[in-house]
Amino acid sequence: MEKQRQGRLCDPVEQVGAYDTTGSLDTNVADGFTLVAVGDLIVTRALTKGNHPGFGAIVETLREADVTFGNMETNIFDARSFTGSPQAEHGGAYHVSVPELGPDLKAMGFNLVSYANNHTFEWGAEGMRETCRALDENGIVYAGVGENLSQAGAARFLETPRGRVSLVSFASTFTPMSRACDPAGEAPGRPGVNALRLREDITVPEAMFDNLRQVRDALPYYNPAHGDPDCVTIAGARFKLGDEVGYSYQPDPADVTRILRNVRQGKQFSDFCIVTNHGHEPGNWSQLTPDYEQAFARKMIDAGADVYIVHGPHQLRGIEIYKGRPILYSVGNFIMDDLRTPTGADMYAEYGRDPRVHTDAEVTVSEMSKEYAADLGFRDPVFYESIVTICRFEQNQLVELRLYPIDLGHSKRFANRGVPSFAAPPLARSILQRLQKLSEPFGTEIMIEESVGIVKPFDRSGLSAGSNS
C-alpha cells in the first residue's frame, strides 16, 4: 500500500494532469489587463530622440498597456568594440543596431520581446549575447534564445500589476547553424534559437507527379528499393500528390512535443501566457497562412496559451478567435528603419557591390528593392502597411481586440521611411478591409469604426464568436 501511495504521489504526469483540470489553463489576470502586440522591430537607432512626425502618438499607445510586445529582429552591439564577426549565412541581411536602442525600446514602452528569428545569429553567439545583455540591462524580458535548447525553449516571465505574464518564443524560419541543442554525454550544448523544424513538401497534380517520377528514375544512382511511392525527391526538394501546385508543411513531432511542454509549464507558472512564432512560410509573398499553422496554433491554445502571435512574413495575415483567445497569423512590420551599418562583406558580394566604391546604404537599397517575387524584396507598399493590436481583458475574458492601422512611409526617402505613424483614414480603411477579407476564412468579423478595427469575441450569451470548436 505504501509503495502504491508513493507511486501515485510521485507520478508527475498524473499530478500535472490533475492540476490542469482545476483551471490552471484559464486566463487569470485582473480586470482591465491590456496587451499591445506589434510585429517586427527592424530598427537601427534611437527613434524617440529623433524627428519622426506621428511616431510620438504611437509611443503613447505602447506605454499605456500592461504588456507591450514586439519581435526583436535586430542585434544590438557597438561595432567599434565588438569581438564577433558576421556569419557565413544570414537571414536576408546582417541586422544590427547601436547600443542606444536598448534604452530606447524601454522608453517606447516595450517590456517583452521575442528574439528567436532568422536574424538572431547573423553575428554569431557573440552578437546574440551582446543583444541579450542590452535587453537585460534595460529590464526588457525576452525569450527564444539561450546557451542551449532548454534555455532557448523555456518560458520567461514578466511581472505586471495585473498579473504574471509568460512568453514562449520559437522560430519556424531560422538559419540552419542557429538552431540550439542540449548537451548529450560529453558533448556540450550549443547556443542558439528555439527552432520549430518543418518538413516542406511541394504538392503537384498527378500528371506533374508522374513526370517528376520519370525524371527521378532517370537520374543515376537512384535505388527504387529506397523510394517512397507517395513522394518524389529531386535535388533535395520533395514532391507529393495534391489537388494543385503549392506548399505543404509537417512540423517535427519532437519539436512540437517540446514546445507544448514549455507552453504548459509557462502557463502553470503565470496568469497569462503568450506564444509566438517567427515564420515566413510559405514566403513573404503570401498573405495566406501555411497549411500546418491553424491546427498547430490551436494546439498552443489548448496547452495554455492565451494568445498566439506570428511575425515574420512582413505583411498582415488573418485573425482567428479560438476558444475566446486571439490567434494573430501575422502582425506584419512595426518598424523597418533599415539604416544598418556595417552590412558585412558577404552582402556586398551578393549584390555585386564593391566596399571600396559603394556604401552600406547602397547595399541595403539593393537588397530592399529586389523583385517582389524573389521573396526578399520590399518594393510593394503592402510591407509598409501594418497594425498595432490591443487586446483587453475583463473578468478573465478577452472582451475586445482593437486594430490600429499604421503607415511606415513607403513613399518617403529611404533614410526617412520605416518609422510608423497612425495611417490616414483612406489608407487605414484599406488596411482594415484587407484584414477583413484575410480573416473571413477563420470566421472572424472585424468592424470598422472611425479608422479602427474592432473584434468583439463574445456575444451576449458569453459564447466565443468566430471559430471556437
pLDDT tens-digit profile of 293-337? Answer: 999 999 999 999 999 999 999 999 999 999 999 999 999 999 999
Is residue 233 located within the same domain as residue 156? no
In a domain, 3, yes or no: no
Is residue 168 located within the same domain as residue 57? yes
Distance of CA 249 to the CA centre of its chain: 17
Is residue 222 located within the same domain as residue 178? no
**Residue 251 preceded by cis peptide, ω within 30:** no
DSSP E strand stretches across 161-260: 163-171, 192-193, 198-204, 231-234, 237-241, 246-251
**Distances, alpha carbon 443 to alpha carbons 42, 251, 277, 387, 464, in Å:** 32, 25, 22, 20, 11
In a domain, 166, yes or no: yes
Q: Are 91 and 40 in contact (CB under 8 A)?
A: no
CA atoms within 13 A on the CB side of 220: 0
Is residue 152 located within the same domain as residue 259? yes
Under the banding of pLDDT at 50, 70 and 90, the label for residue 432 is: very high
The pLDDT tens digits for 180-215 are 999 999 999 999 999 999 999 999 999 999 999 999
Q: Are 393 and 324 in contact (CB under 8 A)?
A: no
Is residue 233 located within the same domain as residue 335? no
| Cα dihedral: 324, 159, 279, 108 (round 10) | 110
CATH number of the domain enclosing 132: 3.60.21.10
Domain count across the chain = 2
Is residue 309 located within the same domain as residue 221? no
In a domain, 361, yes or no: no
Is residue 104 located within the same domain as residue 236? no
In a domain, 371, yes or no: no
In a domain, 260, yes or no: yes
- Give the integer Cα–Cα distance in Å for 405 and 427: 8
In a domain, 192, yes or no: no
Is residue 107 located within the same domain as residue 214? no
Is residue 173 located within the same domain as residue 233? no
Under the banding of pLDDT at 50, 70 and 90, the label for residue 340 is: confident
Is residue 227 located within the same domain as residue 96? no
In a domain, 165, yes or no: yes
In a domain, 287, yes or no: yes
pTM, to two decimals: 0.91
The alpha helices in 23-100, defined as continuous H runs, are: 55-63
Is residue 330 located within the same domain as residue 438? yes
Name the amino acid, one letter, at 363.
V
The pLDDT tens digits for 25-46 are 889 999 999 999 999 999 999 9
Structural domain of 226:
206-241
Is residue 54 located within the same domain as residue 122? yes
Q: Are 143 and 137 in contact (CB under 8 A)?
A: no
